[in-house]
Amino acid sequence: MGSRSLAAGLSAGLMLLALGGPASAQSGGIPPASLVGTWRGTSICTPVGKPACHDETVIYHMRPAAGPAAPASPGTERLMWAANKIVDGKEEEMGEFACTYVRRTGVATCPMRGWMWRLRAQGGTIAGTLVNPDGIVWRNIHVTRSGS
């Protein structure tokens, strides 16, 4: 291979990386097609000192929603989210929420009695917040897709 074609190949490869080509997709920077599965990580309280809020190790189970509310518009996924925390090494149920996931943006919203979970998925990671009715962030979550 001549130096000219090698330089052109390297230049094209660097351009692809800069524009977020295949290497970006492999690194997990794009929204996943579905959130269905098990996710593990942390849920951290943001209003420090609030006695009702405790930092937690969490396991979230996302499954397709069923029933009359299940049909979604193209490009969206309706989910049921079982949110569990780990207590003494075992899963303890905290609640279940209906969510709508928009694949194009990687954003899921899950209302909870006037509060709102907002989740942003990229590759095998979800980062999100729980916001109260006054717009105050109450929790920050960070979870990764689990193999089981």
CATH number for position 43: 2.40.128.620
pLDDT of 148 reads 58
Rounded to whole angstroms, the Cα distance separating 27 from 10 reads 20
Are 11 and 80 in the same domain? no
pLDDT of 7 reads 39
**101 with 35: CB under 8 angstroms?**
yes
Mean pLDDT by 10 residues, the chain (148 residues): 40 32 49 96 86 92 82 84 96 96 96 96 96 93 90
Are 13 and 35 in the same domain? no
Are 37 and 59 in the same domain? yes
Are 140 and 74 in the same domain? yes
pTM: 0.76
User: Phi/psi zone of residue 80: left (φ > 0), alpha (ψ -120 to 50 degrees), beta?
Assistant: beta
Are 23 and 93 in the same domain? no
pLDDT of 49 reads 67
pLDDT of 29 reads 81
Domain that holds residue 39: 31-145
Our count of domains for the chain comes to 2
